[in-house]
Structure 1
């Protein structure tokens, strides 16, 4: 399977809520496409959907190391940290996201 096929198949599995299977393929896609924001976001969503919120946080941090200016990854990190009741960390992540894109339409949900 090519890297692109890992990504596409992983996204299909994510959409069909087959989270555990999606995680495996999206990990391979992230290795092949470390600068692809959607891969990291999908990997986080799959882990979160599978109830693995700590793992989702780790995927977010890995993605942010590759794409430190991704407001989307910072926002997703904040969401996961909120679920884990790590509110101070969540606030910092959401502020980082806001600083990167203060016009994001989702901001009204937090402030």
Structure 2
């Protein structure tokens, strides 16, 4: 049987389940020369990105490395994330207009006119 790796969006379910202080973030990150939709969890000044590591990392380092800015993100409380997953049967991204593609060669804020 084929064992596929969970997407970043799916991985947030595990991270959010383990820490009641977690906030789920869907955002645009810059990686491998393009803007990509991605998801991770945050608590305090730490980021949990299970697609990168099983350990948390400093939020500042994650943001700098991936060019994360608040304008490129959508945030969900842990409870709101669980509710949306239950309602939609999907792990995200939930804001389909903001996350208009999986990747973008152009800065998504320029594409959206934000």
More strand by share: 2
TM-score by length of 1: 0.30
